Structure 1
Amino acid sequence: MKLRPLEETDLEFIHELANDYSLMSYWFEEPYNSLGKLTEHYRNNNSGESARRFVVMNEQDKVGIVDLDYIDFIHRHCEIMLIIKPEFSGNGFAKFAFKEATKYAFEVLNMHKVYLYVDVENEKAVGIYKKQGFKNEGVLREHFYAKGKYKDAAFMSILKQEWLKNE
């Protein structure tokens, strides 16, 4: 298992994930993205400082992606988002990718806080986040629309000093 930076050659893989309704609903995003638009976005925004995107690898297989988004270098916080292809679920990839990306946020980017939004009904993900030391800061009522209804989202985070205690 390893993480590596997203490359332009990974865009077909990202396109596949980004157009899977069942996966994108976890990110509360619409699964509508053309490969051309994705390529254009990559070329125009890849050098920006507001995001870091990684591909989760197992040997030669691409198994998922983990993003650090909305990186704020003034307030020193960012959002973390993760998708693992369903056929690779249950093999520790989510735990590994989540831990490595959080480590990158704190050790390389010097973030003070890493946060996320998660569907309160996604008990598996909430469990992974809690095991990594993330704390629930509250619930945003009917904050996202996914799978035909409004969903409550837990806002969870971990501070650098909390993460250091768990390391």
Structure 2
Amino acid sequence: MGGVTGGRTGIPPRRRRDPPLPRGRGRRVLRGSGQRPARPSRALGRAAERADEEREFRVESDEDDRVGAVDLVDIDEQFGTAEVGYFFAPDAWGNGYATAAVERVVDYAFEELRLHRVHARVFAFNEGSARVLEKVGFEREGVLREAAYMHGEYVDELRYGLLEPER
């Protein structure tokens, strides 16, 4: 599959052999992440089925350094929906990479995949990720109170959505 091009951030498809991004430690790193925690059992159990249900993109800087990743997952052609998630290396935070990449992948979802709705979820303490979604045009649709247990406490999960006509 080809990448999403244009703008200052290259988004070629993520390759399986790409090394993982540095994740750092503790809550600070999660501020840069809009994706839900990985579920290895789900990923392993449905790997073959999910090939048509997700699109993965790596994000590169102008210097061709890998700075992050954006995924479209749970793509449902019947309902015209998908979820967007992303992760960026801490060194890349605050440079506009996340906003530019999420915006372009969402455009890809609407224009190429012809979806009607893209949604996302972030933890309530993840203000930076919530700002990324709001800059792209997502609306906050709700709160799942104490939906996850992290770092010894329950945390709320915020739900965001964007409809194709709103772009």
| 1:161 match | 165
Higher relative contact order (CA 8 A, sep 6+): 2
Using the TM superposition, give the Cα deviation of residue 156 of structure 1 relative to its aligned residue in structure 2, in angstroms.
Answer: 0.5
TM-score, with structure 1 as normaliser: 0.80
Moved over 3 A (4+): 19-28, 44-47
Structure 2 residue 116 is matched with structure 1 residue 116: no
| 1:64 match | 68
| 1:88 match | 92
Letter in 2 for 1:55: R
Using the TM superposition, give the Cα deviation of residue 47 of structure 1 relative to its aligned residue in structure 2, in angstroms.
Answer: 7.5
Query: For the Cα contact (< 8 Å) 2:55–2:71, is it kept in 1?
Result: yes
Letter in 2 for 1:2: G
Query: For the Cα contact (< 8 Å) 2:36–2:85, is it kept in 1?
Result: no
TM-score, with structure 2 as normaliser: 0.80
Matched residues, number: 152
Letter in 2 for 1:6: R
Query: For the Cα contact (< 8 Å) 2:36–2:121, is it kept in 1?
Result: no
Secondary structure of residue in 2 paired with 1:75: coil
Query: For the Cα contact (< 8 Å) 1:56–1:62, is it kept in 2?
Result: yes
Structure 2 residue 37 is matched with structure 1 residue 29: yes
| Identity in percent | 30
Considering only aligned residues, what root-mean-square deviation do their CA atoms show, in Å? Answer: 2.6
| 1:73 match | 77
Q: Deviations over 1:13-34 (max 9, x none)?
A: 25x55x966546843426x97x
Structure 1 gap segments, 5+ residues each: none
Using the TM superposition, give the Cα deviation of residue 153 of structure 1 relative to its aligned residue in structure 2, in angstroms.
Answer: 0.9
Q: In the aligned structure 2, how far is the partner of 1:63 from the partner of 1:137?
A: 29
**Which is helix-richer, 1 or 2?**
1
